[in-house]
């Protein structure tokens, strides 16, 4: 069996998970939330992106964000799927910053 030798990442930022000091998890519809990282991961040939984690901040406090989805279909417009999920939950996703802060690892 052979494994890929190259891992690709879109929209990289440098941070250490253990230094974030996250104490709580919040739903994505809480007031004053700004999402600064949504990490999606997948293997080549797989038809889905899995949500690895989603982090945000509320008034300077880093938080883990609970999303209403744990997978997004590849090739179906990731942003469109997120916007549709937001409509169902009454969340205006453009205000969250989520669309600008998606990182894909594949």
Confidence tier at 88 by pLDDT (50, 70, 90): very high
Would you say 10 and 101 are in contact if contact means Cβ atoms under 8 Å apart?
Answer: no
CA 70 to chain centre: 9
Across the chain, mean pLDDT equals 93
In the structure encoding, which two tokens stand for residue 79, read together? 């942003």
In the structure encoding, which two tokens stand for residue 40, read together? 């999606």
- Whole-model pTM: value is 0.88
Name the residue ranges covered by the structural domains of the chain: 20-105
**What would the pLDDT profile of 44-56 be if each residue is shown by its tens digit?**
889 999 999 999 9
The reported pLDDT for the residue numbered 76 is 87
In the structure encoding, which two tokens stand for residue 66, read together? 């609970």
The torsion angles phi and psi of 44, rounded to 5 degrees, stand at -65, 140
The reported pLDDT for the residue numbered 2 is 60
């Amino acid at each position: 069996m052979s494994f890929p030798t190259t891992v690709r990442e879109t929209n990289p930022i440098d941070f250490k998970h253990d230094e974030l000091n996250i104490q709580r998890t919040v739903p994505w519809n809480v007031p004053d939330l700004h999402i600064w990282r949504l990490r999606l991961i997948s293997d080549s040939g797989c038809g889905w992106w899995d949500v690895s984690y989603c982090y945000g901040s509320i008034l300077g406090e880093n938080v883990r964000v609970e999303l209403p989805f744990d997978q997004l279909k590849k090739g179906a417009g990731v942003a469109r799927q997120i916007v549709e999920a937001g409509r169902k939950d009454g969340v205006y996703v453009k205000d969250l910053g989520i669309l600008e802060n998606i990182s894909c690892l594949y």
